[in-house]
Amino acid sequence: MTNPTRQFLNPALLARLRALPLHARTAMIGSVSGKHRSPVKGSSLEFAQYRKYVPGDDTRRLDWRTWGRTDRFYIKEFEADTNLRLNLILDASGSMNFGPPGHTRLDYARQLAGSLAWLAARQGDAVGLWTVHPDTTHEIPCKRGPTHLGLVLDRIGETQASGETRLIPALHEAAEKVRQRSLTVILSDLFIPPAELKPALQHLRFRNHDTVILHLLDQAELDFNIDRPARFVDMEGTEHVLADPSLVTRQYREAIAQYLSELDTIVRDTGIDYHRIKLHENPEEVLARFLLNRTPKRGARS
C-alpha cells in the first residue's frame, strides 16, 4: 500500500530520471567510498598527481617508470572517491501555500525535494532535510540507507506551510551546524529582502557548501493580471488591503522587476547555482534540466 505521506512522489517520473546522476560541483568529503570527487587523496583509479617519496609511504604506489627516468622515487597520488551529502532546506512559510489545493507552491517543492532525495539515496549518497517553520527549524541530519530515506520522505510529506518566513536564520544555522561539505538545495519562494539573503548565502559558501536555490514562482505573481478591485491578503501574516489593480499594477511590476534584478546580482556575486522555476513547468523537465546542468563535462569529474 502506498504511504499516504509520500503521494507527492511520482514513480513514473523517478523511473525516467533514474539514469541521470546527481552531481556536486565542488569536491565532497563523505563518510564512505562513493562516486564523487573528494579533496582528500586516496586510492581510486583517477590519477591526481606525483609527489616525492618519504619514509613510511606505501611502496606499492611507487612509480618505477619515473624512477627509471629520473633516478628519484615518486609516489602516485589518486583522488579519493566519496559519497555526496545532500541537504534539502524546505521553506514552510505561509506563502508556500500559494495556489489551488493539491497544486500549491509547497506541493511543487515537495515533489522536487522528494525526487532529489530519492535519486541521491539510490546512488548511495547521504540525505538530510531542514524544514523551516515560523518558530523553529526541524532538522534530519544527513545519513544513508532506505530507512533514513523513508524518514526524510515522510517529513517532506507531513510538512505544512504557515506563518512568517524565518529562512534567513535557518540558512545561517545550517551553515554553522553542517560541518562537512554538502550539496545544499534551498526550495523557497524567497519572499525576503535580497539584502538579507546575500550574507546567508555567503555564509554557506564560506563553509564550502555547494549551494543551490530552486526559486519557485507563479506566473500570476509576475504578471499581476487582475482587472477589477480586489482584496489582497498577506499569506505570511494577518494584514490585508483593498486595492484597484489599475492604480498599482505598474508599481507592482516595477517592484518585481527590481527584486529579480537584485537576486540576479546576488547570484553573480556569490556564485551559487540558481534556478528560477515557474509553477506551470513540468517537474520532470525541471529536474532533468537541473541534473543535466550539473553533469560534468567530458574529461571532468564531479
- Are 30 and 79 in contact by the 8 Å Cβ rule? The answer is no
For the segment 147-200, what is each residue's pLDDT rounded down to a tens digit?
999 999 999 999 999 999 999 999 999 999 998 889 999 999 999 999 999 999
What mean pLDDT value characterizes the chain? 84
The arithmetic mean of pLDDT across residues 212-227, rounded, is 89
pLDDT > 70 in the chain, percent: 80
Closest CA to 218 of 92, 120, 99: 99
Is 60 exceeded by the pLDDT of residue 244?
Answer: yes
CATH classification (class only), 4-25+83-292: alpha beta
Spans of all domains in the chain: 4-25+83-292, 36-82
**pLDDT of 95:** 93
pLDDT band at 1 (very low <50, low <70, confident <90, very high): very low
Query: How far is residue 215's CA from residue 102's CA, in Å, rounded to a whole number?
Result: 19
279: CB partners within 8 A, 6+ apart: 99, 103, 105, 108, 216, 217, 218, 219
| Mean pLDDT lowest among 26-30, 241-245, 280-284 | 26-30
